[in-house]
């Protein structure tokens, strides 16, 4: 089954404790993205990657890092989490096919930083 998986699905942590949210896709997609969703603000893009070793900032990259060492994986790293990073996070992937860019989203990771 074609899918995007994220782990963990739920995480409660404390300020300053480094954490990584993993994202993996099995569709051989070139493009992957991370979004955060907050009440009243909609989905905002954090980082995206166009292929292995190629990443770029989205609209809200501060406080986050990413890496793309393999095509299928795109982990999101919070080196020193703060309470304002409490949010619902989504990973997405899509293939580059001309005009058609259907993004497949993961199930989401709900992060709480105390």
Partner 1 sequence: DAKTTQPPSMDCAEGRAANLPCNHSTISGNEYVYWYRQIHSQGPQYIIHGLKNNETNEMASLIITEDRKSSTLILPHATLRDTAVYYCIVRRYSGAGSYQLTFGKGTKLSVIP
- Distance CA(64)–CA(14), nearest Å, equals 16
* 2 binds partner 1, rule: CB under 8 A: no
- Residues of span 78-107 touching partner 1 by CB under 8 A: 88, 90, 92, 96, 99-107
DSSP single-letter state for residue 91: E
Among 37, 41, 106, smallest CA distance to 74 is for 106
Residue 72 C-beta: closest distance to partner 1, Å: 17
* 32 binds partner 1, rule: CB under 8 A: no
* 60 binds partner 1, rule: CB under 8 A: no
DSSP single-letter state for residue 103: P
- Distance CA(9)–CA(62), nearest Å, equals 22
List contacts with partner 1 (CB under 8 A). Answer: 4, 31, 35, 40-45, 48, 50, 54, 56, 58-59, 88, 90, 92, 96, 99-108, 110
């Amino acid at each position: 089954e074609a899918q995007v998986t994220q782990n963990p699905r739920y995480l409660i942590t404390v300020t300053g404790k480094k954490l990584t949210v993993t994202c993996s896709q099995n569709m051989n997609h070139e493009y992957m993205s991370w979004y955060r969703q907050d009440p009243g603000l909609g989905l905002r893009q954090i980082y995206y990657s166009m292929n292995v070793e190629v990443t770029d900032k989205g609209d809200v990259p501060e406080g986050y890092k990413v890496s793309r060492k393999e095509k299928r994986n795109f982990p999101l790293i919070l080196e020193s989490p703060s309470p304002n990073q409490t949010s619902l996070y989504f990973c997405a992937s899509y293939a580059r096919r001309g005009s058609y860019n259907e993004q497949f989203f993961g199930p989401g990771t709900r992060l709480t930083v105390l």
